[in-house]
Structure 1
Amino acid sequence: MYECFGSQPTAWAGKTYAEIEEIAKQDGSILILPVGSIEQHGYHLPVSTDTICADALAHEGSQMVFDDIPIIVGPALWAGNSPYHVNFPGRIDVPFSHLVEFYEAMAASALETGFDALLFLNGHGGNHNAIGGASKAIGLEHPDIDVLAMTYFGLAAGFIDEIRDSDPGGMNHAGELETSLMMHLRPDLVRDDLIEGTHLNEPYTHAYDDMYEGGPLSVHRLEEEYSETGAVGDPEFASAEKGKDIFENLCAELTLLLEEIYEQNTE
């Protein structure tokens, strides 16, 4: 089960300032900042789903390389941009421009300790452009630091078809993937008796249709236009077994990335 705040061996929040500095000063040191959101995830998942998944992956993947790579995971940044969920309760949102500035300020402060690389690990699709913009600005301000950003869904692209049972459109907001992950990471927070979603049938050919399907067209719609419950996809296909399989594969992919980052900063 997902560990509590600060208890992981890679947690910034559980260390003294001297311990953080010792990690940062080592050659090839990496800081991961997990990024999520607080927003509705249908009737069956908590509003913290995006933050929980990103934070859990950051810590588990880091722990797999902790003995060989100087690495630390900052406190999960729960603030996100979710204006399309405006008509659903439970959202704590930050305007896009403020969010970019917030990410920049948080990273700039943390990087003063002396890390060689920074990775934003995002769990909310609506943050994708914000972390991209922030990472570019941070990179310009810190030219000697490798600054990277990614949304964790993308790490599953190479293996997800071997695990999923839903058709394209089934892995979206609170769909098969996120529900499975939460069943594995935090089963105590999943309302099994309320699992319900609406399969996404996007009318535009070149628009997003699934976490792993779709084209370049961006279409603005409010979430209730896709689903009355707020869950978009097929959470009925989710299981804890799938969640475990997906999470373990995600961790393996993340460790490969962390090893590459380390190698790039120790050459």
Structure 2
Amino acid sequence: MAYFIAQILPYITVTVFILGVLYRLWRWAASRIVHNITLSPFPQSNAEVAAIYAREIILFRNIFKFDLPLWIGAWPMHVALFFVLGGHAMGIYFLGRQFVYIGMSEALSEHMSELLGTFFGLILLAGLLYLLYRRAAIDKMRRISNTSDYLHLFLLIAIVSVGNFMRLFPAYGIEYEPVKEYLTTLLMFRPAAIPDNPLFLTHLLLVQVLLMVFPFSKLMHLFGMFGMRWIENRVYKEPAPGLPNVDVAAARARGTGLPAGASDVA
């Protein structure tokens, strides 16, 4: 089983994840945008569009404005997730010594890496538990939730819980070196050196399940939010592609929104 989880399943997982995400993005890109639906405030330049993107993606401004209780759990959870993923990448690549490049000693860098990983891991777990509580305890949330919403949260909570357990109890954890060696051989298509740690393999299996489910779930909002923001906040200088009975090419040539004359209408 360990051989399958660590040396075969990763390639299946990456294939399903990439093809699934590309398929969903293609479906979205191929869909007609029937109406120009730019929302207020109406951006007049790409710089303004970028500013709106930054506010929404970094600060979750709309959630803060319209659902503060949700923002209290969602924003810290996503910030913690960002640092946890970044910490995994940096910690494994630099073996926990990434802070040496800003003047810390190797020992202090490794300690700081462990400390920050534990801190953000606990924040992430707290945020996920809070979101689960909202779905279970608030009546309007229960009405709009389905089984998959709970399963995704349980899967995320399981992944984070196993990771936190390994950090909080080092005897059950794993060092950076064997993980880096394992991932390096995996990327070189010569999978070997499976870490001898049941909790690590459990963590790895759960992550792979999440990645395979990801493209076919609401977790695709990671990519969907960019498309949604583009549809709602881009600068419109032409009719939306697919608008019925409109010659988009003629409108684009005129530099106007809708064709003015009957000759421009298909």
Q: Report the TM-score range of the alignment, normalised by the length of the smaller protein.
A: under 0.3
Considering only CA atoms, is the larger Rg found in Structure 1 or Structure 2?
A: 2
Which protein is richer in helix relative to its size?
2
Which protein is richer in strand relative to its size?
1
Compute the TM-score of the two structures, normalised by the length of structure 1.
0.27
Q: Which has the higher contact order (CA 8 A, sep 6+)?
A: 2
